[in-house]
Amino acid sequence: MKLESRQVRRFIAPLLSLTIFFSVLNGVMFNVAVPDIAHDYDISPALVSWVVTAYIVIFAFGSVVYARLGDRFHLRDLITAGLVLFCTGSLLGFFSDSYAMLVASRMLQASGAAGIPALSMVLATVYVPDNIRGSLLGVIASTVALGLGVGPIAGGFIAGYLHWNYLFLTPLVLLPVIFFLRRALPPQDELRREPFDFQGAILIASAVGCLLVMVNMRMGLLALAVAALGVLFARRIKSVSYPFVHPGLFVSSGYRHGVVVAFLVMGTIFATFFMMPLMFRHVYDMATMQIGLYLFPGAMSAALAGLAAGRVVDRCGAVPVVKAGFLILLLGFGLIISAAGQGPLLSSASLVAANSGFTIIHSSLAGAVSKTLPHGRVGMGMGVFNLIFFVSGAMGTAAAGMFLEVLGPASPDSYRLIFAGCFVLAAAALMIFRHGFRDVCRL
């Protein structure tokens, strides 16, 4: 199956943008509502955090599962199944009458929503013509950035003026999209009916779950379980004919470097998403709705930067665009460090550069990494890439939270120090990228 450029631009790209936007929006909106949920069910902060943690765990692992199933089933069928699960979980969540049912609904939502960005990435890197691949990846990255920016505003408005359970209704907008996506996506010509490695899937799911619980709940003892599960998984994929993750993925030096770069840079930017609202609250003493409005310009600029980066990638290649994105991101971190404590307008303006740099990297790095893999392994490789994306985000957020707790959230110096660490990690990621892709002129 090879999609036509006109078909992608007129039908598939807008439909995918809509689905990705609401999947990201749904994940972010509940962060704002966590205090209200804890109050309504009279539960502790540690317990209520599972509203977010359970979603992230299922979402992260699900991105790999959907990518793996993309070799066995038609993408349109998998996307349909994901959207149905997403909407079903939303309905159950709206009518939930207990905290256990609420968390179960969030997990069901995540099991469906995970397929949307994962399969969109597979579609863009495997089945879309080369001349518009960068544009579609740019659209995906821009939509993610826009969803992250709009999420706090939409969540605060809905939870503040209605009730937090109405947040569950927003994904139902996607029900008509199922029909249109099925018509727009043709079936693949060839499918590989390889055996599915359930044991390998369980091992990596357990390892990812323990890792994310460890960093979010700060349970250091789980490190032993993560290490043991990681060793068992490594042995498993080397001992079976059709492993869940093929070890041949990591033969490519470019792919290995790309995954490390993704881990470093995504951790820094998710830490930024976590810390900026806290800085506006504790340093500038702003209300939730005001915070969302000050963060919105950064989200909009990031969305526009992703669209522009996608077009440039189609003409100039991914590697120079990734490097430019890193330079803009480093500039943004430098401005954020200087602006911390100097006023909300300066901090909001500095976030424009950081968010734009991140979106440029996000949109072009995926294209660069996909080119390092043989055709038959691109889908699985991008699934692992997405997994690294979410794991890194969770770890970056948890690390920022721990440092902020030690340093104190009311002092601008605390944010300067943590953002200085983000600057160093982003600079290291740039050096690793330049080393790993130094022989690549055009991807």
CB-count burial class (<10 Å; 0-12, 13-18, 19+) for 383: buried
Contact call for residues 261 and 441 (beta carbons, < 8 A): no
CB 245 within 8 Å of CB 372: no
* Average of per-residue pLDDT values in the chain: 83
Q: How large is the average pLDDT for residues 52-66?
A: 80
429 pLDDT more than 90: yes
pLDDT band for 441, please (50, 70, 90 cuts).
very low
At residue 1, the pLDDT reads 55
Q: What angle do CA 28, 107, 154 make, to 5 degrees?
A: 20
Across 184-193, 260-269, 384-393, least confident range:
184-193
Q: Are 378 and 370 in contact (CB under 8 A)?
A: yes
Mean pLDDT on 186-191: 68
Calculate what percentage of the chain has a pLDDT beyond 70.
95
Give the list of residues 6+ apart from residue 326 with CB closer than 8 angstroms, or none: 265, 357, 361, 426, 429, 430, 433
Q: Single out the residue of 169, 176, 27 nearest to residue 92, CA to CA.
A: 169
d(C-alpha 37, C-alpha 45), whole Å: 10
Query: pLDDT class for 280, splitting at 50, 70, 90?
Result: confident
Q: Give the pLDDT of residue 293.
A: 80
Mean pLDDT for the stretch of residues 71-93: 89
- 189 pLDDT band, cuts 50/70/90, is low
In which band, very low, low, confident or very high, does the pLDDT at 432 lie, cut at 50, 70 and 90?
Answer: very high
Q: What is the pTM of this model?
A: 0.79
pLDDT(303) > 60: yes
Q: What is the pLDDT of residue 297?
A: 86
Determine how many CB atoms are found less than 10 A away from the CB of residue 77.
13
Q: What is the pLDDT of residues 129-176, one digit of tens each?
A: 777 877 787 788 778 877 877 787 788 788 778 888 899 999 998 999
Question: Dmax of the chain from CA atoms?
Answer: 59
Give, in degrees to the nearest 5, the angle at Cα 265 between 205 and 406. Answer: 85
pLDDT given for residue 200 in this prediction = 87
**Are 270 and 144 within 8 A, CB to CB?**
no
3 φ, ψ (degrees, to nearest 5): -80, 150
Assigned token pair, 437: 């892709």
Looking at the predicted structure, is the pLDDT value of residue 9 above 50? yes
Lowest mean pLDDT among 119-128, 185-194, 262-271, 349-358: 185-194
234 versus 371: which is more confidently predicted? 234
pLDDT digits (tens, 9 = 90+) for 305-352: 887 887 888 777 888 999 999 999 999 999 999 999 999 999 999 999
Position 440 pLDDT exceeds 60: no
Q: What angle do CA 322, 12, 325 make, to 5 degrees?
A: 10
- What is the structure's pLDDT at 255? 87
Query: What tokens were used for 441?
Result: 């002129």
* Cα 386 to Cα 64: distance, rounded to the nearest angstrom: 7
Kindly list the distances between the CA atom of residue 437 and the CA atoms of 170, 325, 360, in Å, as whole numbers in the listed order. Answer: 41, 15, 17
- Of 13-27, 55-69, 86-100, the range with the lowest mean pLDDT is 55-69
Non-local (6+) Cβ contacts of 198 within 8 A are none
Under the banding of pLDDT at 50, 70 and 90, the label for residue 46 is low
* Per-residue pLDDT reduced to its tens digit, 387-419: 887 788 778 877 888 888 888 888 999 999 999
Give me the pLDDT at residue 414, please.
92
User: How far is it, in rounded angstroms, from Cα 348 to Cα 314?
Assistant: 31
pLDDT at 442 (0 to 100): 44
Rounded Cα distance between 161 and 325, Å, is 38
